[in-house]
């Protein structure tokens, strides 16, 4: 579609400049060309506005039917979900399904989580505006964008270099500035940026990583899927208090595993 303005705009300018030195027949011909290029430009603009509106419509429907209907209530979170363009965080061939009630492949054998799971983890992590939040498993950058839109300072770690770079580019292009992406093994958290009010782990572990517990503030909450890899895990809400740690099980989930292999492919 980019070809439309690229071709039609210079053509129109050409016609406008030379129209005065032409014969009557040529002038009529050129006027017709201007008229039709105008129509093409208008159709192109109309198509752009229409597609923007339909993405927005799909997003509003996603929030009402998949998220509010399932009991998510935090108004700041719901506002962020209504604003963050999820279709900008999936590969081109997946855009059509960006607002569907499902996780989607993002390449390298990884997935962007189902919208409801993103909402549930964020709500259960009790994230508030102004919080310092650590995410393990940046993936597409969508979860980080939701946290950023809620007014948090976000630190996010991704183990696959190309995904870290892609997520960083997505976040930058869309103007999410309070997010820092790091390529590395999130098992160790982000010591220099700690302590965190909340930690959201979007890949599964078979035990609670001690560095993450240590980097959580007292009074802070971590949401993390714990269980065997490539199987069913339990979504744990871990709260750190002055007395120690409490764990609450939210039920069965399925996440890609936290791996320990730093990938450059
Ligand atoms: N939160 C993401 C979805 C992430 S899927 C989103 O919003 O799109 C889980 C991600 O965790 C994958 O991208 C995977 O590469 C990453 N991952 C797996 N092991 C990791 C580790 N040790 N450290 C950091 N990231 C890891």
Ligand 1 pocket residue status of 186, Cβ below 6 Å: yes
H, E, C per residue of the chain: CCHHHHHHHHHHHHHHHHHHHCCHHHHHHHHHHHHHHHHHHHHHHHHHHHHHHHHHHHHHHHHHHHHHCCCCCCHHHHHHHHHCCHHHHCCHHHHHHCCCCCCEEEECCEEECCHHHHHHHHHHCCCCCCCEEEEECCCCCHHHHHHHHCCCEEEEEECEHHHHHHHHHHHHHCCCCCEEEEECCHHHCCHHHCCEEEEEECCEECCCCHHHHHHEEEEEEEEEEECCCCCCEEEEEEEEECCEEEEEEEEEECCCECCCCCECC
CA 160 to ligand 1 centroid distance, Å: 8
Percent of the chain past pLDDT 90, that is, above it, reads: 78
Distance 30 CA to ligand 1 centre (A): 56
Among 29-33, 39-43, 102-106, name the most confident range: 102-106
Distance (angstroms) between ligand 1 centre and the Cα of 141 equals: 10
Q: Is the Cβ atom of 256 under 6 angstroms away from ligand 1?
A: yes
Ligand 1 centroid – CA 128 distance (Å): 23
pTM for this structure? 0.84
User: Residues near 243 by Cβ (< 8 Å), separated by ≥ 6?
Assistant: none
Average pLDDT over the chain, rounded to an integer = 91
Identified catalytic residue from 8, 113, 140, 148:
113
Ligand 1 atom with least separation from CA of 167: 8
* pLDDT tens-digit series, residues 188-236: 999 999 999 999 999 999 999 999 999 999 999 999 999 999 999 999 9
113 is a catalytic site residue: yes
Q: Which of these, 32, 34, 27, lies nearest to 11 by C-alpha position?
A: 34
124: nearest Cα among 252, 250, 257, 233: 250
Q: Is the CB of 143 under 6 A from ligand 1?
A: yes
Which ligand 1 atom is at minimum distance from the Cα of 113?
3
Position in ligand 1 atom list of the atom nearest CA 156: 24
Cα of 230 vs its chain's centroid, Å: 23
What pLDDT is attached to residue 87? 98
Q: Is 225 left (phi over 0), alpha (psi -120 to 50) or beta?
A: beta
- Average pLDDT for residues 254-265, to the nearest whole number? 90
């Amino acid at each position: 579609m980019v070809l439309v303005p690229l071709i039609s705009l210079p053509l129109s300018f050409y016609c406008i400049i030379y129209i005065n030195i032409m014969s009557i027949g040529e002038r009529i011909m050129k006027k017709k060309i201007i008229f039709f290029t105008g129509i093409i430009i208008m159709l192109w603009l109309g198509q752009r506005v229409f597609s923007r509106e339909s993405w927005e419509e799909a997003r509003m429907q996603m929030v009402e039917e998949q998220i509010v209907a399932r009991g998510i209530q935090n108004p700041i979170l719901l506002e962020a979900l209504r604003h963050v363009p999820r279709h900008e965080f999936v590969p081109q061939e997946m855009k059509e399904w960006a607002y569907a009630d499902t996780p989607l492949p993002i390449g390298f054998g990884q997935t962007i989580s189902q919208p409801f799971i993103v909402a549930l983890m964020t709500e259960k992590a009790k994230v508030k505006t102004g919080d310092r939040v650590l995410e393990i498993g940046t993936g597409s950058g969508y979860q980080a964008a939701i946290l950023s839109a809620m007014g948090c300072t976000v630190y996010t770690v991704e183990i696959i270099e190309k995904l870290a770079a892609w997520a960083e580019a997505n976040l930058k292009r869309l103007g999410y500035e309070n997010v820092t992406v790091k390529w590395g093994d999130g098992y160790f958290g982000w010591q220099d940026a700690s302590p965190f009010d909340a930690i959201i782990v979007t890949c599964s572990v078979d035990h609670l990583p001690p560095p993450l517990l240590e980097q959580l503030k007292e009074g802070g909450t971590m949401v993390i899927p714990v269980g065997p890899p490539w199987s069913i895990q339990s979504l744990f809400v871990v709260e750190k208090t002055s007395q120690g740690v409490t764990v609450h099980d939210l039920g069965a989930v399925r996440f890609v595993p936290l791996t320990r292999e730093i990938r450059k492919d």
